[in-house]
Structure 1
Amino acid sequence: MKTNLEGKIVAITGGATGIGRATAVAFAREGAKVALIDIDKAGCDETVALIEAAGSKASVGLGDLSTGDGVATATKAALDRFGGVLDVLVNNVGSGAVRSFDQLTDEEWEKTFQLNFMSYVRTCRLALPIMRERGGVIVNNASDLARQPEPVPVDYGASKSAVLALTKSLARAEAPKIRVNAVAPGPVWTPFWSKPGGFAETMGKFHNMPPKQAVEHEMSLRQLPLGRLGEPEEVANVILFLASDLASFVTSSVWGVDGGSVRSII
């Protein structure tokens, strides 16, 4: 089956590491040109090398995606190399830490929503005028916690629920020329988890356990049918499908890539 992604221009926020990097490489292997939008220059440079090794071209736009100016500057810089054209937008950037509701301040709630939700709003605002002329696809990276919230991290789950609401609204508003879908990953082992201050370390503090033991404990609580964390490439494969012509009749959908963590039938 052919994806028909060759020659397409794909912008990926948070493309420097993790799911974003795996997605960038997956698109490059299909012949798409990839515009990386991130704050991490070193990580972007490594991803660019992987894209070029796959035989494709890349550009980079650097900026703080938790701010309006950062999103605008980085997105413009990334797309300028490809003539301002855009066929696919993958909203992937995000961050989180494990904290209880009582521990969260207003400032921490605001910080979570600015990066995990408002960055998506802002990139869509920039992308839609381009896509309305030529058609396009938007894929938003949400989370299983958007559909099945856990006690922690409540701010992260709430921000991802907002992403799903945005996805559904835009899918209806922009059809039939633009398709808008979301992936909802479960726990996937990336720097999002392993970095200092990431999910693993903060989960360890929350459960009063070493990070690795805390992650294993959390997975046992969630009773994942597949019994393991996912890999970034497993999410990238679904994003690639949703962006391709293979999913030409798919819009306003939420695709779980979660090892079976979500139990609801809807």
Structure 2
Amino acid sequence: MESGLKGKVVFITGAAEGIGRATAVAFAKEGATVGLLDINESQLREVATEISSTGGKAITVKADLMTGEGVKSGLEQLLDSTGGIVDVLVNNVGSGAIRTFEQLSDDDWDKTFQLNFMSYVRATRHLLPILRERKGCIVNNGSDLARQPEPVPIDYSASKAAVLALTKGLARAEGANVRVNAVAPGPIWTPFWTKPGGFAETMGKHYNMEPQAAVEHEMKLRQLPLARLGTPEEVANVIVFLASDLASFVTSAVWGVDGGSIRAI
């Protein structure tokens, strides 16, 4: 089946590692030009090298997506490189740590929402006029925790619930002009989990266990039917599908890529 993505221009936030990186590689394999934003410049270059080595085209821009100016400047630099063209926006950037409600300060809540939610709002607002003209689409990266929250991380869950609300509202507002969908990954084995200070390390502190043991304990508590963490590529495949012509009648959808963690109908 033809995806219809060849020759399209795709912008991806948080593209240096994990799901963002896998998504960039997947779109490039479909023949799309990918514009990549992240604060980690060296890892962005690694992604671009990987893509160019297989004949793909990647444009990278270092950007602090925590701030409005960072989002705007990064997107403007990408647009300058693509002649003002963008067909697909993948709002992917995000971060989180395992902290209880009592441990979270106002500043913690603000930082979580600035990156995990407001970056999506700002990127969408900036690119929406172009996406309307080109009958483009948006794919937002949510989380299974947006639909089935756990006690921790409560700030992360709330920010991702806001992402799903944004997805639904925008899909209705934009109608046939711009398709807007979301993926809702479950636990995916990425640097989001494995990096210093990431989910695995902070989960270990929360449960007073070694990081790997804490992750295994958490998966048992969640009773995942597939009984494992997912891979970034498994999420990227769904993101590419939602942006493709194969999903031309799909909008306002939230696609779980979660190993069966969501029990609701």
Q: TM-score, structure 1 length as denominator?
A: 0.99
Q: Kindly indicate whether the alpha-carbon contact (under 8 Å) linking 1:25 and 1:54 is maintained by their aligned counterparts in 2.
A: no
* Cross-structure match for 1:47: 47
C-alpha displacement at 1:51, in angstroms? 1.4
The 10-residue stretch of structure 1 (81-90 or 70-79) with the greater mean CA deviation from structure 2: 70-79
Q: Measure, in 2, the Cα distance between the counterparts of 1:167 and 1:216.
A: 31
Long gaps (5+) in structure 2: none
**Structure 1: how far apart are the matches of 2:22 and 2:54?**
12
| CA distance, structure 1, for counterparts of residue 88 and residue 244 of structure 2 | 9
Compute the displacement of 1:54 (Å). Answer: 2.7
Q: Partner letter of residue 90 of structure 1?
A: V
Determine the structure 1 residue equivalent to 2:262.
Answer: 262
- Counterparts of 2:29 and 2:142 in 1: how far apart (Å)? 24
Alpha-carbon distance in structure 2 between the residues aligned to 1:88 and 1:255: 17
Specify the code of the residue in structure 2 equivalent to 1:252: S
**Residues 167-223 of structure 1, C-alpha deviations (whole Å, 9 max, x = no match):** 001000011011000000000000000000000000000000000000000000000
CA shift for structure 1 position 78? 2.0
> How many residues were matched structurally?
265
Retained in 2: the 8 A contact 1:61–1:73?
no
Deviations 1:46-75 (A, max 9, x none): 110111123111111211101000101111
Does 2:211 align with 1:178? no
- Give, in whole Å, the separation in 2 of the partners of 1:58 and 1:82: 11
Aligned partner of 1:35 in structure 2 is 35
1:105 is aligned to 2:105: yes
Cα distance in 1, alignment partners of residues 216 and 145 from structure 2 = 17
* Correspondence list, 1:74-85, <5 A: 74-85=74-85
Aligned mates of 1:153, 1:79 — CA distance in 2: 35
1:2: which partner in 2? Answer: 2
Contact 1:31 1:55 in 2 (8 A): no
- Asked if residue 246 in structure 1 is aligned to residue 246 in structure 2, the reply is yes
Amino acid at match of 1:232: P
- The alignment-based identity, stated in percent, is 69
Q: Normalising by the residue count of structure 2, what TM-score does the alignment of the two structures yield? A: 0.99
Which amino acid in structure 2 is aligned with residue 86 of structure 1? V
1:62 match: 62
1:194 aligns with 2:194: yes
| Letter of the structure 1 residue corresponding to residue 255 of structure 2 | W
Contact kept? 1:60, 1:77, Cα under 8 Å: no
3-state SS in 2 of match to 1:251: coil
**Corresponding residue SS for 1:81:** helix
Corresponding residue SS for 1:158: helix
Tell me which residue corresponds to 2:155. Answer: 155
Q: 1:68-114 CA deviation, whole Å, 9 max, x = no partner?
A: 00101111112221112000000000000000000000000000000
Structure 1 residue runs of 5 or longer lacking an equivalent are none
Within 1, Cα distance between the matches of 2:163 and 2:203? Answer: 23
